[in-house]
Amino acid sequence: MTQWHIITGEYPPQPGGVSDYSRVVARGLAAAGDAVHIYAPESRSSDPDDVGVTIHRLSGHFGARALVQLSRLLGRGTEDRLLLQYVPHAFGFKAMNFPFCLWLYAHTRKYGGAAVTFHEVNLGFHTGDPLRYRFLDMVTKVMAKLVARSAAQIFVSTPQWESALRRYVAPHQAIAWLPVPNNIPVVVDPVRIAATRRRYASACGPVIGHFGTYSPAIAAMLRNLVPLVLADSPSSTMLLLGANGGAFRESLTTEFPELTPRVIATGALPADELSMAMAACDVMAQPYPDGVTTRRTSIMTALEHGRAVVTTQGSFTEQMWARSGAVALLPVENSAAFAAAITELLRDENQRQRYGAAAKALYADRFDVRHTVEALRASLCA
């Protein structure tokens, strides 16, 4: 039996996309018959109780004490595999935990190298950003280089990261795309879903949803979109799903008070309630400033729930999205076209159903957790 030792900067009950992803992968490996050990920062709340998954909480946030604990706790059996879920800011030290990367580079020699999933490579910067952003970008690039050279297998959450990593590794080093699965199990209960819809919206009007954490860049896009969408469809309701939706709603309705009764924020919900709230939506509006990518867990949730999705095509958008026919793709900078696409879908139930069916099929074919588990277990033979 293979034992997986998964190091992650966050794990439930700690919030975050990498946290939820790590748990989905751990449960998938355990369900396949492997033993899984998780190494994550300390938490004051109760750990999830998943069969086949043992959680080890480390002191602090990957400082010196935690690294000593890791060295002591990690197994050394011939069937042991080390897997790192890497994103620079998840390991503390304001995304500059260089000592952790050095520890990884030295320690993984005992394992013949680790398997590393890069959720992000470096933080990047834009023209005009403060000097400290450039310094931070430089440090995270050095960290990524160390982590990449610690890896026997490299996985990326989006193919876009391959070009950034290729400069750090030997030409023969394989870099494989590893699907990011949905982490909100789908609830199939038409009665409860109908009740959820009545709770949030009027009986006759359509429901437009957005799921996310309302980061500043996405919130700015939604601030342009929501008034246009609601103006185009006077009977519709905008349902804001996910943490921080309440703060965004307050900001939006302060600027547009006439929208107050038509914009509803659910706040953070338990997984089953979130699933039913998403299923209650007719269309999902999912704009992203760099375009939709395969690393966005929010889009994965919408796909597996079979929702008609309107999203953006940008610099990071992979070619597969246009080929799939599973989402309506609009340019990042064109809010009016995005709003018009939503209005068109609200008026055409057949088209919504086609998009929903294509979304669900795309998820099953490309993103379901079984693909992730199969890829990780196949790496044992690499």
- From the number of C-beta atoms within 10 Å of its C-beta (0-12, 13-18, 19+), residue 76 rates as exposed
- For the ranges 15-19, 165-169, 355-359, the one whose mean pLDDT is highest: 355-359
Considering the domain architecture, whether residues 29 and 109 belong to the same structural domain is answered as yes
Judge contact between 115 and 38, C-beta under 8 A.
no
Helical packing angle, 98-107 and 131-149, nearest 10°: 10
Considering the domain architecture, whether residues 195 and 314 belong to the same structural domain is answered as yes
Where residue 309 falls (left for φ over 0; alpha for ψ -120 to 50; beta otherwise) is: beta
C-alpha radius of gyration, the chain, whole number: 21
Query: Would you call 147 helix, strand, or coil by DSSP?
Result: helix
Considering the domain architecture, whether residues 169 and 213 belong to the same structural domain is answered as no
Judging by DSSP bridges, how do beta strands 283-286 and 53-58 pair with one another?
unpaired
Considering the domain architecture, whether residues 130 and 98 belong to the same structural domain is answered as yes
What per-residue confidence (pLDDT) applies to 79?
72
CATH of the domain at 258: 3.40.50.2000
Which residue segment(s) compose the domain that 246 sits in? 190-367
The number of folded domains in the chain is: 2
What per-residue confidence (pLDDT) applies to 245?
97
Considering the domain architecture, whether residues 211 and 125 belong to the same structural domain is answered as no
Considering the domain architecture, whether residues 257 and 341 belong to the same structural domain is answered as yes
What per-residue confidence (pLDDT) applies to 113?
75
Considering the domain architecture, whether residues 132 and 222 belong to the same structural domain is answered as no
User: Looking at 119, 154, 178, which one is the last position of a domain?
Assistant: 178
Considering the domain architecture, whether residues 169 and 287 belong to the same structural domain is answered as no
pLDDT (mean) for 350-373 = 97
Place of tokens 């390991």: 91
What per-residue confidence (pLDDT) applies to 186?
97
What per-residue confidence (pLDDT) applies to 15?
87
Pair of tokens at residue 229: 């969408």
Residue 71 inside a domain? The answer is: yes
User: Looking at 152, 178, 204, which one is the last position of a domain?
Assistant: 178
Query: Is this prediction's pTM over 0.85?
Result: yes
Considering the domain architecture, whether residues 258 and 127 belong to the same structural domain is answered as no
Judge contact between 214 and 247, C-beta under 8 A.
yes
What per-residue confidence (pLDDT) applies to 76?
64
CA distance 242 to 273: 11
Asked if residue 382 has pLDDT above 60, the reply is no
Asked if residue 111 has pLDDT above 90, the reply is no
User: Looking at 178, 200, 217, which one is the last position of a domain?
Assistant: 178
Q: pLDDT exceeding 70 applies to what percent of the chain?
A: 96
Pair of tokens at residue 259: 């929208």
Contacts of 301 (CB under 8 A, 6+ apart): 182, 183, 184, 211, 278
CA distance 242 to 195: 19
Residues constituting the chain = 382
* pLDDT 10s digits, 166-224: 999 998 898 999 989 999 999 999 999 999 999 998 767 999 999 999 999 999 999 99
Number of Cβ atoms within 10 Å of the Cβ of 325: 14
Asked if residue 327 has pLDDT above 70, the reply is yes
Residue 184 inside a domain? The answer is: no
Residue 173 inside a domain? The answer is: yes
Considering the domain architecture, whether residues 128 and 224 belong to the same structural domain is answered as no
Considering the domain architecture, whether residues 195 and 172 belong to the same structural domain is answered as no
pLDDT band at 372 (very low <50, low <70, confident <90, very high): very high
Contacts of 188 (CB under 8 A, 6+ apart): none
Considering the domain architecture, whether residues 52 and 88 belong to the same structural domain is answered as yes
pLDDT band at 250 (very low <50, low <70, confident <90, very high): very high
What does the mean pLDDT of the chain come to?
93
